[in-house]
Amino acid sequence: MVLVDPVLPTDDVDRARFHRAIVRDLARLGGAVSILCTHPADADEVAEVVHLTGGRVVGPEEPPPPGMQRLPLDARHEAAWWSARHRALMPGRALRVSPDGVIVPGPGVDAATLLAVAPRVVIPAEGPMVTLPAA
- HEC sequence for the chain: CEEECCCCCCCHHHHHHHHHHHHHHHHHHCCCCEEECCCCCHHHHCHHHHHHHCCEEECCCCCCCCCCEEEECCCCCCEEEEECCCCEEEEECCEEECCCCCEEECCCCCHHHHHCCCCCEEEECCCCCEECCCC
Which of the two residues, 86 and 128, has the higher pLDDT score?
86
pLDDT of 19-43, one tens digit each? Answer: 999 999 999 998 889 999 888 777 7
pLDDT of 64-120, one tens digit each? Answer: 999 999 998 876 668 899 999 999 999 988 998 888 888 889 888 888 889 999 999
128 pLDDT exceeds 90?
no
Number of independent structural domains in the chain: 1
Q: What is the CATH number of the domain that holds 83?
A: 3.60.15.10
Per-residue pLDDT at 76:
65
Q: What is the span of the domain harbouring residue 32?
A: 2-131
